[in-house]
Chains A and B, each alone.
Chain A
């Protein structure tokens, strides 16, 4: 797994490729990006995730040079790039709309940036051929953009932005228009290209699954601010707030009062007359501090009887069952009308399922299964 070996952000001596320093971007009196400080390292595949209008595109456009920060500065390989115009930056952007030149064929579109650099003819031809091969577009080299399919067009846009072998490639929702299968293929293609070329990628996506698949690190944004930057697994397993936990994947949030119960262990009193829940946390909580316990549904076990050795167990009544093919999600009503979700893999045929509506069941999980959050 490259993820274990590749983690420059943990190395304090590593020089980041991109450095956002207190960058703020205002449009009139509206703040699109607020006081953003972020390092992105070479060879990273960095994903930006966040709801619509949270400033992802604005951030990319500042990197590409189409917007100037209202304050703060941006460094690329140690150089302040704010005063550098877009055509002088070693950054290429793949536009969400592809922005292919309609009057040029696929070959000329890909060669466009290389010609601007005055690359010798032979080298240029070779490079374009290489790009065509990489994106499986050899057969379409002579076609105009309106004569190829959406997926092919997307690959032309990718080839065009890759051709100059930029230090940094910005992809703004590069797969928004593709169907699931083509999207997955392209994701793997991108990762492959990234491995071959060593380019640093920053990708904007609305699709959290995509971010989890391709990214070395994920940044979750909200209203122009970074909420958490971490590896996909860390974001998923250890979100730093309820917002992130909720944004990435499905989660149960149980609110309650935390009390210290030993080394890095807390009990959470979540409902009157119910046994407190046990949770591990390396964060410190003051006595009776309000806390949120976040547990992924797939970590919750559904059983008919209370498991003998269960640390946390809650009894409830099955309210609904969502059958999703490979998995089933049980919506279970517990004390105080609260609804909890539990997911199980469907290893048995549907008619052999153990539980049905209105059944009384036990939900249980380990003390390390959940994350205790302050907000």
Chain B
């Protein structure tokens, strides 16, 4: 089908709507002027300034730590939860449990954040990096488990039985057969959790303490005092990281899909 003018127009409008704000932000991050809205020339100096701004660097370090720890933890827990729910013996209320694991997906972040805050206060946990990691793990875990369980559903269970048959303990069968085969889904899950943690503002601000400021929090508070080109540069970098993460995740799942198709095609 050829693209009609109507289609071209709607595509253009749609993408402009999605990406124009970001493009403007990226362009202005290379603006020489300190005034955000006046273009005076191309420069990368704000990126340099950014690298010498200790407060931003600290926030970046906190964010990275939180993202790495929480996404790893979320991946482990999410994968195990998905495995238990898809593979485990049927028990009464299993459907309810499967449904419940997705609840954080639809729960307003404000509520998740607030309830976590109450929990941390309740158990007397000092708010800081640890609490943000725990909070991010909680909500990223269900994303991981969605990604992994959709892969597990299509996973041929006789492969696990074959592994058991050949002398694997159930744990070995999981480690040596199931995990390598679902690895692409697990990695996509990790990347998803990582990017979710990177750009979360709401839950982080509920669960953070004075010692741990993440980049989104830093940016948000800085912007309230006025937008600076440094913030633009920082945001551009974050967009780059997130984009990269999403692209890698989709490439991995696409490659795996192609390979699976080949496997199926070869089987007949």
List the interface of chain A (C-beta within 8 A of B): 64-66, 85-87, 91-93, 95, 97, 99-103, 112-113, 116-117, 145-148, 150, 153, 160-161, 164
- Give per-residue flags for B158-188: 1 if the beta carbon is below 8 A from chain A beta carbons, else 0: 1101111111111010001100110000000
**Contact indicator A66/B161 (Cβ below 8 Å):** yes
**Contact indicator B167/A95 (Cβ below 8 Å):** no
* Residue among A91, A99, A145 having the largest count of chain B Cβ atoms under 10 Å: A99
Do A102 and B161 form a contact, CB below 8 Å, given A112-B166, A113-B166, A146-B267? no
Q: How far is the CB of B259 from chain A (nearest CB, A)?
A: 8
Do A145 and B263 form a contact, CB below 8 Å, given A97-B156, A99-B159, A101-B177? yes
Separation of A97 and B267 alpha carbons in the complex (Å): 10
Residues of B within 8 A of A117 (CB): 167
Residues of A within 8 A of B169 (CB): 87
**Contact indicator A102/B263 (Cβ below 8 Å):** yes
Question: How many interface contacts (CB-CB < 8 Å) are there between A and B?
Answer: 71
**Contact indicator A116/B266 (Cβ below 8 Å):** no
Summarize A's interface: helix, strand, loop or mixed.
mixed
Whether B54 sits at the interface, judged by CB under 8 Å, is: no
**Contact indicator B161/A99 (Cβ below 8 Å):** yes
Do A164 and B181 form a contact, CB below 8 Å, given A97-B158, A101-B159, A146-B266? no
**Contact indicator A99/B164 (Cβ below 8 Å):** no
Residues of B within 8 A of A101 (CB): 159, 162-163, 177, 181
Whether B262 sits at the interface, judged by CB under 8 Å, is: yes
Do A102 and B181 form a contact, CB below 8 Å, given A97-B158, A145-B263, A146-B267? yes
Separation of A82 and B118 alpha carbons in the complex (Å): 51
**Contact indicator A87/B263 (Cβ below 8 Å):** no
**Contact indicator A95/B158 (Cβ below 8 Å):** yes
Residues of B within 8 A of A147 (CB): 266
Q: Which residue of the partner chain, among B162, B167, B262, B268, contacts A99 with CB atoms under 8 Å?
A: B162
Separation of A65 and B167 alpha carbons in the complex (Å): 12
**Interface positions of B from 254 to 268, Cβ below 8 Å from A:** 259, 262-263, 266-268
**Contact indicator B267/A150 (Cβ below 8 Å):** yes
By Cβ-Cβ distance, the 4 closest A-B pairs, closest first, are A113-B166, A116-B167, A99-B162, A146-B266
Separation of A113 and B162 alpha carbons in the complex (Å): 10
Residue of A nearest to B263 (CB): A146
Q: Which residue of the partner chain, among B165, B262, B268, contacts A64 with CB atoms under 8 Å?
A: B165
Q: How far is the CB of B226 from chain A (nearest CB, A)?
A: 54
B contacts with A, residue count (CB < 8 A): 24
Q: How far is the CB of A119 from chain B (nearest CB, A)?
A: 11
Residues of A within 8 A of B165 (CB): 64-65, 86-87, 91-93, 161
Separation of A100 and B167 alpha carbons in the complex (Å): 15
Residues of A within 8 A of B158 (CB): 95, 97, 99
Q: Which residue of the partner chain, among B170, B172, B180, B262, contacts A146 with CB atoms under 8 Å?
A: B262
Separation of A148 and B180 alpha carbons in the complex (Å): 21
Residues of A within 8 A of B172 (CB): 116
Separation of A99 and B163 alpha carbons in the complex (Å): 9
Separation of A91 and B163 alpha carbons in the complex (Å): 13
**Contact indicator A164/B167 (Cβ below 8 Å):** yes
Q: How far is the CB of A91 from chain B (nearest CB, A)?
A: 8
20 contacts between A and B (CB under 8 A): A64-B161, A65-B165, A66-B161, A85-B164, A87-B165, A87-B169, A95-B158, A99-B158, A99-B162, A101-B163, A101-B177, A102-B159, A112-B176, A113-B167, A116-B168, A146-B262, A146-B263, A146-B266, A150-B268, A160-B166
Separation of A148 and B177 alpha carbons in the complex (Å): 20
Separation of A150 and B263 alpha carbons in the complex (Å): 11
* Residue among A101, A147, A160 having the largest count of chain B Cβ atoms under 10 Å: A101
Q: How far is the CB of A97 from chain B (nearest CB, A)?
A: 6
Separation of A373 and B6 alpha carbons in the complex (Å): 81
Residues of B within 8 A of A116 (CB): 166-168, 172
Residues of A within 8 A of B263 (CB): 102, 145-146
Residues of B within 8 A of A97 (CB): 156, 158
Q: Which residue of the partner chain, among A66, A85, A92, A102, contacts B166 with CB atoms under 8 Å?
A: A92
Q: How far is the CB of A100 from chain B (nearest CB, A)?
A: 8
Separation of A187 and B217 alpha carbons in the complex (Å): 70
Separation of A93 and B162 alpha carbons in the complex (Å): 8
**Contact indicator B168/A87 (Cβ below 8 Å):** yes
Residues of A within 8 A of B164 (CB): 65-66, 85-87
**Interface positions of B from 177 to 228, Cβ below 8 Å from A:** 177, 180-181
Residue of B nearest to A85 (CB): B164
Separation of A95 and B163 alpha carbons in the complex (Å): 11
Residue of B nearest to A157 (CB): B162
Separation of A85 and B160 alpha carbons in the complex (Å): 14
Residues of A within 8 A of B180 (CB): 103
Q: How far is the CB of A141 from chain B (nearest CB, A)?
A: 17
**Contact indicator A95/B266 (Cβ below 8 Å):** no
**Interface positions of B from 125 to 182, Cβ below 8 Å from A:** 156, 158-159, 161-170, 172, 176-177, 180-181
Residues of A within 8 A of B176 (CB): 112
Q: How far is the CB of A51 from chain B (nearest CB, A)?
A: 23
Residue of A nearest to B158 (CB): A99
Separation of A160 and B180 alpha carbons in the complex (Å): 19
Separation of A153 and B161 alpha carbons in the complex (Å): 18
Separation of A166 and B163 alpha carbons in the complex (Å): 15
* Residue among B159, B165, B167 having the largest count of chain A Cβ atoms under 10 Å: B165
- Give per-residue flags for B17-51: 1 if the beta carbon is below 8 A from chain A beta carbons, else 0: 00000000000000000000000000000000000
* Residue among A100, A112, A160, A161 having the largest count of chain B Cβ atoms under 10 Å: A112
Separation of A64 and B162 alpha carbons in the complex (Å): 10
**Contact indicator B266/A86 (Cβ below 8 Å):** no
Residue of A nearest to B162 (CB): A99
Residues of A within 8 A of B167 (CB): 87, 113, 116-117, 164
